[in-house]
Amino acid sequence: MYSRPVSVAWPLGVVSFTFDDFPKSALVTGGSILERYGVRGTYYTSLKLARTETVVGPMFDLDDVRDAHDAGHEIACHTYTHLNC
Ligand SMILES: [Zn+2]
C-alpha cells in the first residue's frame, strides 16, 4: 500500500456539506445551491434506498448519483442496506 503524507492547514476553518441517505431534494435543491456558490457536497448513499419513498420524500435514483458525481460532488458509501442500529 502506498501512502503520501499531506500537510493540511485551513487557517480560516472548513465547512463540510453532507447529505445523509440522500433524498432527491438534497441534490435538486441543495446541490444547485452549493453549485451556485462554487462549492460541492458529499452525498452519503445507501443503495437499497434508491428509488424508494421515505418520510423525507422521494429518494435518489441512479441518475441522481451519476449527476452528482458529474457535477463534482463526492459520493460516499452509507452501507447498502442502511441497517437500523
Ligand atoms: Zn443514514
Return the pLDDT at 8.
87
CA of 22 to the centre of ligand 1 (A): 8
Kindly tell me the sign of the dihedral angle through the C-alpha atoms of 33, 43, 21, 13.
negative
C-alpha cell at 61: 435514483
Among 20, 21, 44, 40, residue whose Cα is nearest residue 31: 40
C-alpha of residue 5 to centroid of ligand 1, in Å: 31
11 CA → ligand 1 middle, Å: 31
85 pLDDT more than 80: no
Q: Ligand 1 centre from 67 Cα, in Å?
A: 20
- Going by pLDDT thresholds of 50, 70 and 90, the confidence category of residue 84 is confident
Residue 22 near residue 50 (C-beta atoms within 8 A) = no
Condensed to tens digits (0 to 9), the pLDDT of residues 36-71 reads: 999 999 999 999 999 999 999 999 999 999 999 999
* Residues, CB within 5 angstroms of ligand 1 (ion): 20-21
Q: How far is CA 9 from CA 4, 5, 12, 14, 74, in A?
A: 16, 13, 9, 10, 21
pLDDT of residue 15: 92
Report the mean per-residue pLDDT for the chain: 93
CB hemisphere CA count around 55 (13 angstroms): 0
